[in-house]
């Protein structure tokens, strides 16, 4: 019961924060930025790898958030954090598409690729897991992150990246195979 009361209280705080941001309050905008910027920076960095580019995408994403916050409506329990995250993911993917930075190989035989057991990933620290993911080639890393971490399905990934569903499945399978090999080698150092 206490958890429900606390969650409701947090929601009210969020609603008030959104209301103030919609009014253009710089103080509320700073609070919203401070609350989400570090996590959104890390999210952008997972996609683009370059610290300066990730920061630039994140800052431009927040400009978009504040420009369009009047359109945000809390429906279906979608939080402001989820809405901000969606903007950051979309902007990161737009950056990658613009730079043609996916390096994906189309595959019509994605169904033929064996499923890879990634249960050893559960035993890694978050830092080690992200270090391994960061070592994946751009296409593998992008699809893996969208599918496994962000929870998108292959149809949504294909639409976002302008690739086929088969290519999405293939990139995911190949990413899992590379991760499995890295884990088996117990090679958790940063970089290749």
pLDDT of residue 34: 94
Determine the pLDDT at residue 120. Answer: 58
Distance (Å, whole) CA 104 – CA 34? 35
pLDDT on residue 14: 85
The stretches in the chain having pLDDT less than 70 are 1-12, 74-76, 100-123, 186-192
Nearest to 184 by CA among 128, 125, 140, 121: 121
Give the predicted TM-score (pTM) of the model.
0.73
Which of the 8 DSSP states describes residue 149? Answer: I
Distance CA 106, CA 165 (A): 10
Tokens linked to 104: 């994906």
User: Pick from 132, 137, 156, 135: which is nearest to 146 by CA?
Assistant: 156
| 12-16-22-27 Cα dihedral, nearest 10 degrees | -130
Give the pLDDT of residue 109.
45
Cα separation, 189 vs 9, in Å, equals 43
Q: Which of 116, 67, 121, 64 is nearest to 95 (CA)?
A: 64
Burial class of residue 188 in the structure, from the number of CB atoms within 10 Å of its CB (0-12 exposed, 13-18 middle, 19+ buried): middle
């Amino acid at each position: 019961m206490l958890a429900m009361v606390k969650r409701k209280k947090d929601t009210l705080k969020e609603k008030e924060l959104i209301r103030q941001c919609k009014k253009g309050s710089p103080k509320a905008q700073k609070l919203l930025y401070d609350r989400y910027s570090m996590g959104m920076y890390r999210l952008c960095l997972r996609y683009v790898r370059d610290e300066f580019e990730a920061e630039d995408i994140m800052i431009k994403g927040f400009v978009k958030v504040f420009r369009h916050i009047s359109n945000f409506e809390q429906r279906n329990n979608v939080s402001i954090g989820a809405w901000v995250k969606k903007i950051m993911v979309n902007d990161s993917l737009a950056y990658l598409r613009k730079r043609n930075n996916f390096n994906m190989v189309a595959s019509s035989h994605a169904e033929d690729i064996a499923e890879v057991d990634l249960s050893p990933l559960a035993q890694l620290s978050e830092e080690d897991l992200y270090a391994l993911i960061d070592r994946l080639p751009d296409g593998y890393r992008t699809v893996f992150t969208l599918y496994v971490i962000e929870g998108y399905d292959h149809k949504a990934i294909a639409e976002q990246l302008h690739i086929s569903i088969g290519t999405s499945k293939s990139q995911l399978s190949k990413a899992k195979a590379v991760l499995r090999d890295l884990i088996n080698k117990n090679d958790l150092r940063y970089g290749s």
